[in-house]
Structure 1
């Protein structure tokens, strides 16, 4: 988790909130951040191209660093909300369960039930494959 004020007392989260968000960096690049968001939203530029633009030689540009600091605010708020609101935790769990259900269905459909045979093998079963059209 990240904090804005280094001198503030975060109580039980004092040890967890070690990182620092630099609001000055975000303010310096705020207009550019909004321009990028608008460009992606309108489709004027692809997100892939923006990501490439925000780093050079594996290191973030000043604009990329400002966006990272802004993202830390949202991430910290999400973690705090997750810790504080049971309803929010339930909502997250429902979404996770939905995704797991989709993954289970995909495994069943696309991966042949994980290689398990659910019918007993009988002599001559392999001959049935040659009778299928197109095989």
Structure 2
């Protein structure tokens, strides 16, 4: 997740990332924070996580029992420069974040940089958990966005039929497999979106009332209309579909326009 957000050459700079429970840990919270990315995961069983006080003297009315230990600010301050150097190296692409996190996790528990990263992550995660339990709007927003991600993953997996496991051991071949799958998924999403927009326009032309709140429930991930198995033919002399010249899609199809 960190690797994807910090990759150079991306057309969109991510400042917020949603993930499920498996996509978060104290170390991940630390390095996304240092990279200027707000991690907003949907955490199951958050009550099993520890909430940290800023110091032993801090007391809170009504919620004091939630906090069971304190943050070691001295540890974070002592290794702050090293943490920033690691974050800058991840941002520059000189260090692979997955490799770094695996090494930090596999090293001895006495690894001070690992402990400092986790301590910083505990600070960031505690703040997030307090916002999580106090804001219904935040929980709804995170859940909605995480559901979208899971819907896309299920949709892409459905299109990647034949085998759910990438059998290739070469990283480049694995990357190709994932990108080809994303390319197919994006193509089908584009066609689904076009079909839905044209259908909605026909409904409006027939005098039917189409409300924006109804359209919000539509998804570009239907599969019932996709012929996943069957005969596939490549027509190199086939003319482009008429919707490409349609004014409804013309602006979106022009290169160089920003997505809004």
TM-score normalised over the length of structure 2: 0.39
Where 1:15 maps in the other structure, the secondary structure is helix
**Is it true that 1:40 corresponds to 2:93 in the alignment?**
no
Distance in 2 (CA, whole Å) between partners of 1:52 and 1:101 is 28
Structure-2 residue corresponding to 1:94 = 144
Find the aligned partners of 2:141 and 2:102 in 1 and give their Cα distance: 34
Superposed counterparts of 1:1-135, under 5 Å: 1-54=51-104, 57-106=107-156, 108-110=158-160
- Aligned-partner Cα distance in 2 for 1:75–1:15: 17
Q: Distance in 2 between matches of 1:57 and 1:26?
A: 18
Distance in 2 (CA, whole Å) between partners of 1:107 and 1:13 is 43
Number of residue pairs aligned between Structure 1 and Structure 2: 116
User: What are the Cα deviations for residues 15-36 of structure 1, in whole angstroms up to 9, with x where unaligned?
Assistant: 2211321000000011111000
Q: Which residue does the alignment assign to 1:120? A: none
C-alpha change, 1:53 and 1:107, in structure 2 (3 Å) is closer
| SS at 1:54 equivalent | helix
Match of 1:115 in 2: none
Residues of 1 paired with 2:147 and 2:83: CA distance?
34
CA distance in 2 between partners of 1:22 and 1:60 (Å): 15
RMSD: 2.8
- CA contact 2:53–2:68 (8 Å) conserved in 1: yes
Q: TM-score, normalised by structure 1?
A: 0.70
Shift of 1:48: 3.5
1:2 aligns to what SS in structure 2? strand
Structure 2 residue runs of 5 or longer lacking an equivalent are 1-50, 163-229, 231-260
- Structure number with greater CO (CA < 8 Å, separation at least 6) is 1
**Is the partner of 1:12 in helix, strand or coil?**
coil
Decide whether the 8 Å contact of 1:26 with 1:67 is kept in 2: yes
SS at 2:123 equivalent: helix
Distance 1:48 1:104, change over 3 A: closer
